[in-house]
A and B are shown apart, each in its own frame.
Chain A
Amino acid sequence: AQKITQTQPGMFVQEKEAVTLDCTYDTSDQSYGLFWYKQPSSGEMIFLIYQGSYDEQNATEGRYSLNFQKARKSANLVISASQLGDSAMYFCAISRRNLIFGKGTKLSVKP
């Protein structure tokens, strides 16, 4: 069975600073995908970034990067230069035959 753990229920970051959101996972599969989604207060789920288990380089998408450490089974999201609009819930998810989500981390960006 697959499992995702996000240990930080809530985090604060100062505007313009970088922040790391933690995600660890457990799977017996060799091939899988790791995703991060953002859910603002309006409720929609927004896809941010993807990392494949066989990708050797860490994924990056604009201000988002994924710090993938396969041996440690971690896939932390790094947001650089935080903006007020980054305040939201962030979900890590693992995919093999379906997509299983963690409980999420609520990020609050302070001006």
Chain B
Amino acid sequence: DAGVIQSPRHEVTEMGQEVTLRCKPISGHDYLFWYRQTMMRGLELLIYFNNNVPIDDSGMPEDRFSAKMPNASFSTLKIQPSEPRDSAVYFCASSSTGGGLLYNSPLHFGNGTRLTVT
């Protein structure tokens, strides 16, 4: 099992540019999560999907952020336009409930994308 794969590992961009982060979940997992980690705010849930459908996007900071999951094996998180305060590590995670309950299924995390906006 390859695990959750995120790309790129590092992204440096200038303020105002569009940034797209990518995630390939573990095959067969039915939930996908996007988290953001900063020193000040810790790990924040941005959005999560169940069977490719967004369930809760209340953590998305503002309209500059958007996430899509066009199929079961791919998701993107896009920031347009990017700002310096978006600098953080962005994690994608997936989980398999096997049709059961989400709350007893551990999340498997990717290695994260470290985003720096100058």
Chain A positions within 8 Å of B, measured between CB atoms, are 31-33, 35, 37, 43-47, 50, 52, 91, 95-104
Contact = CB atoms under 8 A, between A and B. Distances in A.
Contacts of A99: 33, 45, 93, 107
Given A95-B102, A97-B102, A98-B48, A47 B107 contact: yes
Interface residues of B, number: 22
A32 B109 contact: no
Chain B interface main SS type: strand
Interface in B77-118: 89, 91, 93, 101-109, 111-112, 114
B43 interface: yes
B103 A96 contact: yes
Contacts of A45: 91, 93, 107, 109
Given A43-B112, A98-B56, A99-B33, A35 B106 contact: yes
A50 B45 contact: no
